[in-house]
Amino acid sequence: MIGSFKSTDYHLNPKSDADTKGISGFDFSDFRDVLSVGKYVFEHPESIKYFIPKFEKALESDFKIKWAALNSLSMISKASPLEVLPLIPKIVELLENSDWRIRKNAVLFFGDFGLVCYSNIKPYMENLKKCINDSNIDVVCSSAYALSKIMLNSKCEEKIDLFVILREKITSKVVLMDLIKNIGEINPDLIKCCQNDVLSCLDSNDPVLKSKVIKILGDIKDYELDENTSKILIDSLNSDNLEIRRSSVYSIWKYSEKYPEYLKNATDTLVEFTSSTDKYTKIYSLLALNKLSYTEPLKFENLNINPLLDEDPDVIYPSITLIYNLSKYSPKVATRHYKKVCVLMNNPDKYISKQALRIVGNLGKYDQKYINRYINNVRLKLSDEELSKEATIAMVKSGYIEKKNLEIILKAADKAKYNMEFLRELIEEYPKELLLSLEKELLTLKRTWNQEYINELCYSIEEKISSNDPNFSNIKLERPEIEEPPVIVALKSECTEVELEDGKQVYILDKSKCIETSLSGDLLELLDMDNKNEFDIYKLSHDLMIQSLIESAINEPKR
């Protein structure tokens, strides 16, 4: 990012801290005093006009005052570039000062100024370009960094020409790659032309150069990763150099989505890196694992994400997203985290609580027991406007469709244009046998403003209804005829569910509403028969809930 450009900020002496002075407390008699003005004006932009005459004199003063004035003006130009315009001609003159340190700071000023205000620096671009041929190497490097900053201004008209100059004049590979890296982080399109320069340094034994090159590789747009380059990235994960490891993880993350087959062999190492003490290595590893999670989800069985969910949001976001992805591709792998995830449903950060609800929905779809214990907590989220859709999807996936869910669905459908993503997912997860009744209610909501979207939803419903799901009804299981101890059988709908103090759930029912039988084929046939009866009741209750909502809407007085 911009902060990665080399900084020349001077650390202020606490005794001369700008916060302890007012506008009239600076006399420019000491270089520390001049440096303090930069901080003061940055925080109080309205005071710059008072200091312009003082800066004008400072730029004609001795070395230390002049040096400090340029540093302060660089800081001020980031916040108030137009206010320093009267001083530009004098600073241009300093580009040819006899002292290389002044030339260097003048160039760096124009880099900061040009980054935010190109049109006012355009007349002086030729002066700046000449600095790339300076006799002093520090001035040359500073000129290169300044020009690379100016290139990042969206109004810069000579980006390509400046890049050609940098590539021709900068002979140090490390400096050139650092420039390309910084530019690529802001504008990846600009570094496409440097692809060959970058690849030529990929096998370098210089760890500083190699780390920069690998990082750049991750930022080059539309680069076609091959097997050999991907192997270099994976092998670099085992480097002793932290920067190389970090850059390798970064590039693997960037290419994982497009080239998973080449990079999936990095999964085991990336899993290890989630415990890294280096925050960036940890975050990049989690981001890469998110991209690779669908390739071989069983490789994640030993990954304990729970501790990562207690860290700061930078780590929590990719961590909980990884659990969500695993809950889609291999729910069993994600189940070890479900208790922690259920707690995060109450997190005040809406991104985290939404992801937690999505995970609970996926796990509930896999096995309803993973939502049953926390179903009341999920129901509470139906009253939260920001979480109600995620809570509804979670309940529908898990086999819960209640009156409040239907209210949310029909309310969203009334403004379908803004809720299509939610409604499409809902239709995908809705019980197939209940889709016709849902379609009927959607049609009653058709209005001029949403007709196109309601038609699209109804088409999706009809498409799903007509799809052929696998039929397992003809599969017969042969069971050995052995005597079994009797068991008590009853429909769950006849039971009262009670949660004990230790969290266990039990079911209480009237003795007259259950039967005693053996655990045999007879029992299975009985369950098949009764399940059909229970489903009829379930479907009927669903239709009644919708009818109740319609009647409520009709009878509700118009506001």
More confident residue, 500 or 83: 83
3-state secondary structure of 516: strand
Of 258, 269, 193, 264, which is closest to residue 225 (Cα–Cα)? 258
**pLDDT grade, residue 171 (50/70/90)?**
confident
> Is the pLDDT at 12 greater than 60, yes or no?
no
More confident residue, 485 or 184: 184
The DSSP letter of residue 518 is E
DSSP string, 150-182: HHTSTT-S-HHHHHHHHHHH---HHHHHHHHHH
Output the CA angle 99-104-109, nearest 5 degrees.
Answer: 130
> Is the pLDDT at 159 greater than 50, yes or no?
yes
- Predicted confidence at residue 493, as pLDDT, reads 65
Give residue-wise pLDDT tens across range 446-460: 887 888 999 999 999
385: Cβ contacts below 8 Å, ≥ 6 apart: none
CA distance 36 to 13: 9
Q: Which structural domains are found in the chain, ordered by start? A: 1-170 (1.25.10.10), 490-553 (no CATH)
CA distance 65 to 35: 9
Q: Which of the residue ranges 249-258, 334-343, 429-438, 480-489 would you say has the lowest mean pLDDT?
A: 480-489
Asked if 338 and 360 count as a contact pair (C-beta separation under 8 A), the reply is yes
Q: Which of the residue ranges 118-132, 181-195, 206-220, 327-341 would you say has the lowest mean pLDDT?
A: 181-195
**CB neighbours of residue 212 within 10 Å:** 27
Of 509, 516, 505, which is closest to residue 494 (Cα–Cα)? 509
Share of the chain above pLDDT 70, in %: 81
CA distance 182 to 188: 10
Would you state the structure tokens that stand for residue 472, as one six-digit string? 């397992």
Of 266, 356, 351, 360, which is closest to residue 314 (Cα–Cα)? 351
- Predicted confidence at residue 395, as pLDDT, reads 96
- Predicted confidence at residue 541, as pLDDT, reads 56
**pLDDT grade, residue 279 (50/70/90)?**
very high
**pLDDT grade, residue 13 (50/70/90)?**
very low
Give residue-wise pLDDT tens across range 392-408: 999 999 999 999 999 99
CA distance 377 to 375: 5
Average pLDDT (13-20) is 45
- Predicted confidence at residue 7, as pLDDT, reads 39
CA distance 116 to 93: 21
The CA-based dihedral angle spanning residues 474, 477, 478, 480, taken in that order and rounded to the nearest 10 degrees: -150
CA distance 295 to 289: 10
pTM reported for the whole predicted model: 0.70
End-to-end distance of the chain based on CA atoms, in angstroms? 53
Asked if 388 and 408 count as a contact pair (C-beta separation under 8 A), the reply is yes
More confident residue, 53 or 359: 359
CA distance 408 to 394: 13
Most trustworthy range by pLDDT among 3-17, 171-185, 536-550: 171-185
